[in-house]
């Protein structure tokens, strides 16, 4: 049995004490740890790259790693243990497990920008990664799904004349598959936003660097809408697959229904899989991860072959 690299460097602050568990994995990939894709305030923003050992298909999937808007190796290990990388790499995808930063240091808007810059970096270095920059998938779970949805629905255009080579690429992706995403912070199952507790997150700091203090109700509501994928002015959205348990105790299943309706209203494609009795996540979620990989095959491989 192979094991992932759970501690490539010393883990400072939260959550070093919980890094003793080694998630099980088939290990059908080569894992490159802590690849720096951008810098913010002198801090390196990193991703782990999972490269399939057998029959790579030349395509990439970006997996936004975040739980409760914390991005750390514990969250990455959860994705490993649930089988995300085993399944996607078995299908031939190179997976970029991207950390957008944590709410202790960055706001939600910061995290969205980090994901977009990560996408640009991956496209700029596509030849190095042996992937097609024009067929890129995006995924995430919970807070990671929230940030991924926002990044996908607000595409930053390419700037061919820029001196920065990464700006030569836009941030568009071709398919988005998400697990139990928060999508409407203004209507979160009837619970006022400032009372929501999601996996210990400081949601005020998700909105503003200094939290809610000093901000008017109008400013708070405006920022909540800005960070709600279902309330974005959506134009030409990529196809979405949303997977959600109907017994989720943290993110109500209505959040996926709300985003699906918004995408369809914008003439986009939104498929919705509801897991009966599914929580956040559920024990046999690998079944749905397999469905996600099959869906990416349809959208990124089969669709391209059909167009050709």
What is the reported pTM? 0.92
| Residues contacting 39, CB < 8 A, separation 6+ | 45
* pLDDT beyond 90 at 85: yes
Give kind and range of the element (H or E) at residue 146.
Answer: helix 143-153
- Architecture category of domain 16-307 in CATH: 3-Layer(aba) Sandwich (3.40)
Q: For residue 289, what pLDDT band results from cuts at 50, 70 and 90?
A: very high
Bond into 205 cis (ω within 30) = no
Q: Would you give the end-to-end CA distance of the chain in angstroms?
A: 41
Are the CB atoms for 95 and 85 separated by under 8 Å? yes
Are the CB atoms for 174 and 135 separated by under 8 Å? yes
* pLDDT beyond 90 at 274: yes
41-55, 201-215, 221-235, range with the lowest pLDDT: 201-215
């Amino acid at each position: 049995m192979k094991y992932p690299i759970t501690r490539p460097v010393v883990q400072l602050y939260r959550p070093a004490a919980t890094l003793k568990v080694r998630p099980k994995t088939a290990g059908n990939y080569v894992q490159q740890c802590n690849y720096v894709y951008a810098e913010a305030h002198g801090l390196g923003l990193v991703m782990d790259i999972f490269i399939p050992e057998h029959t790579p298909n030349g395509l990439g999937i970006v997996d936004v790693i975040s739980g409760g808007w914390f991005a750390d190796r514990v969250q990455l290990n959860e994705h490993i243990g649930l089988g995300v990388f085993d399944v996607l790499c078995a299908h031939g995808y190179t997976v970029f497990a991207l950390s957008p930063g944590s709410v202790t240091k960055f706001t939600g808007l910061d995290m969205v920008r980090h994901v977009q810059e990560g996408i640009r970096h991956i496209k700029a270095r596509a030849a190095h990664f042996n992937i097609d920059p024009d067929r890129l998938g995006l995924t995430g779970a919970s807070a990671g799904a929230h940030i991924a949805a926002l990044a996908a629905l607000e595409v930053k255009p390419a700037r061919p004349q820029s001196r920065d080579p990464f700006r030569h690429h836009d941030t568009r992706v071709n398919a988005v598959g998400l697990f139990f995403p928060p999508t409407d912070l203004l209507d979160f199952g009837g619970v006022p936003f400032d009372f929501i507790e999601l996996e210990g997150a400081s949601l005020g700091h998700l909105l503003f660097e200094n939290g809610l203090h000093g901000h008017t109700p109008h400013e708070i509501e405006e920022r909540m809408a800005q960070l709600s994928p279902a309330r974005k002015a959506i134009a030409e959205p990529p196809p979405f697959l949303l997977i959600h348990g109907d017994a989720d105790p943290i993110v109500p299943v209505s959040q996926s229904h709300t985003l699906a309706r918004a995408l369809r209203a914008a003439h986009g494609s939104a498929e919705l899989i509801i897991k009966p009795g599914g929580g956040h996540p559920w024990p046999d979620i690998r079944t749905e991860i397999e469905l996600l990989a099959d869906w990416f095959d349809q959208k990124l491989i089969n669709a391209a072959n059909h167009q050709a």
